[in-house]
């Protein structure tokens, strides 16, 4: 009986721990931003979708972003690689292993999350800027 109780408590602890390793945000606006690679000037910033949820896994330091576009719901995830000298995270797209992002998480400070694609597209960088994030 003691073993069964201890086993039950062990699994309950793991289950609770797994649930507390995630922070979920349920609101926000996502914009697609193009920035000139040389001058850093913003070429355009256009609305891209409405955030349905952002889940941050505190253990794996990964983000799962689900958003609504006019065409329907879509999403993507990025996983942690390392922290840069500037305090941003270098992260890899979970579905496109060739895509890497510099991620700046300022959700607690001002409700903003920025994912800057490391790869240039025609002399510009594309990024996702997510604003108005709330718990």
User: Measured in Å, how far apart are the chain's first and last C-alpha atoms?
Assistant: 42
Separation between Cα atoms, residue 4 and residue 89, nearest integer Å: 43
pLDDT of residue 85: 86
pLDDT of residue 88: 92
pLDDT of residue 1: 55
- Is the pTM for the entire model greater than 0.85? no
Which pLDDT tens digits describe the chain residue by residue (135 residues)? 555 544 444 444 444 445 578 999 999 999 999 999 999 999 999 999 999 999 999 999 999 999 999 999 999 999 999 999 888 999 999 998 889 999 999 999 999 999 999 988 888 999 999 999 986
By the 8 A CB rule, do 83 and 74 touch? no
pLDDT of residue 24: 94
Separation between Cα atoms, residue 44 and residue 33, nearest integer Å: 6
Residue 88 DSSP one-character state: P
> How many Cβ atoms are within 10 Å of 51's Cβ, its own excluded?
22
Residue 20 DSSP one-character state: H
Separation between Cα atoms, residue 59 and residue 17, nearest integer Å: 10
Kindly list the structural domains of the chain, giving each domain's residue range(s) and its CATH number in brackets, ordered by start.
23-134 (2.40.128)
> Tens of pLDDT along 22-31?
999 999 999 9
């Amino acid at each position: 009986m003691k073993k069964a109780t201890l086993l039950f408590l062990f699994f309950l602890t793991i289950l609770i721990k797994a649930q507390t390793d995630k922070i979920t945000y349920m609101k926000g606006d996502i914009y697609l931003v193009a920035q000139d690679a040389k001058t850093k000037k913003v070429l355009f910033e256009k609305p891209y979708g409405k955030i349905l949820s952002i889940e941050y896994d505190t253990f794996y330091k990964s983000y799962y972003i689900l958003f609504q576009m006019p065409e329907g719901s879509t999403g993507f995830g990025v996983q942690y690689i390392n922290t840069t000298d500037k305090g941003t995270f270098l992260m890899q797209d979970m579905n496109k292993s060739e895509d890497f992002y510099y991620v700046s998480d300022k959700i607690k400070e001002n409700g903003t999350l920025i994912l800057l694609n490391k790869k240039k597209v025609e002399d510009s960088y594309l990024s996702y800027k997510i604003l108005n994030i709330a718990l």
